[in-house]
Structure 1
Amino acid sequence: MASTGTRGRRERLRAETTAEIKSVALELMASGGPGAITLRAIAREMGMTPNAIYGYFATRDDLVTTLINDVYTSLADAVDAAWDITPATHPADRVRAWAHAFRGWALVNPEGFRLIYGDPVPGYIAPEGGAAPDAAQRVCTALTGLAAAAWPHAERLYADSDFQWSDFDAGLLDKVRPAFPHLPPAGVALALRIWGHLHGLVSLEIYGHLHHQTASPEKLFHEELTHIVASLGIAPKG
């Protein structure tokens, strides 16, 4: 019977190997795209036999699901932390804090950003309910929270909106309506518009499409945030 110390070493070594497998998978994706993630390629990079790596992940899809869950959870933690430390009475500052946390996370984790928001992994079949349902809901809810925080100030600016609940995906509404029961359809549309502005610039930066256009992507992002805040009818404190 294995001693407690032996079991502890085995568990530690297994955790370290699992972490290395995931790290190598993202490195392969960075150099060869999503299709480069294969268990055989990872085993080759790590000097393992294919049979050995199957002891950690039974299939490539199991590995991809784990990666997506890890990456999405990391993003959710980052933006939630920015949200939590910003007072609810400062909606403009909350928008800025969330946006900067999102961009900062993406710049530190470009492969992770590409995995969850970029090109799909060829042939990957996500499990029922999605690869990272809890983390995805956290990000979606926080994003809608930006619109909800600004809505008392912005509502008058969107009085002519003709959005109805039927304009949105039922799964999206299942996530956001219980969290923000007083937010109307126009408020949900506003959340998606904010997301479009922020995600668009970050995607261009991560994929290198701004490289030849500007030496100051951070300044561009900051100015876009300034215009978003102005369009919401709110202003930063201080």
Structure 2
Amino acid sequence: MKLTLYPAIDLKDGNCVRLLRGEMDQATVFGTDPGAQAAAWQKAGFSWVHVVDLNGAFAGKTVNEDAVKSILANVSIPVQLGGGIRDIAGVERWLAAGISRVILGSAAAKNPALVHEAAKKFPGRVVVGIDAKGGMVATEGWAETSDIPAPELAKRFEDAGIAAIIYTDIARDGMKTGLNLAETRALAKAVNIPIIASGGVASVADIVALKQAAVTQPNLNGSILGRALYDGSLSPAEALAAC
């Protein structure tokens, strides 16, 4: 099967950044023109762009709107967006603006009914972001950890009609220590929803390992790529070839 790879553009104060374990004070700026970065990922051959409004995730509302609109203006491939989308009005606004899929993270954990409402109204265009610390769901830009195990939250959306779940191991995010395949596979086994792995991709070996895991767990759908792409330890060409 073919995995879908999602190069990430994380936005902080209008810039393209990467964080370490979700810590906002551990941000490395990799670019000041998000639109140009999105265009570069499209030119490299990627079929999607994954965008997160980091300021929005903490503020609970969209903050980097201009940067997101710049990304949309510079690519023709689909864009999925998360960070600060907390209500149906926000979902509607971004889908109308040209975003292909919205990601509900904190809102999914705290207001599951919103996910069901949005997915019913916009089938195939809502993604749930499940971010975990030690297997427990974290919210509010990862600043708060709940007592909900990730698979338990995932099961709440089994029949909601969502497009996918993005599962992020926060401890590995930005660390290039490899995907947490054990927890990601356990989540995939718990539901029939497509699962996108995130957090820790270091090299082409991680993509190959995910593809091998997908042979027996076919709803392992793809992976988010971050720091390894930006610092050059993983090239777009070898990443895409591995798929």
TM-score range, shorter chain: under 0.3
Q: Which has the larger radius of gyration?
A: 1
Q: Which has the higher helix share?
A: 1
TM-score w.r.t. length of structure 2: 0.26
Relative contact order, higher structure (CA 8 A, sep 6+):
1
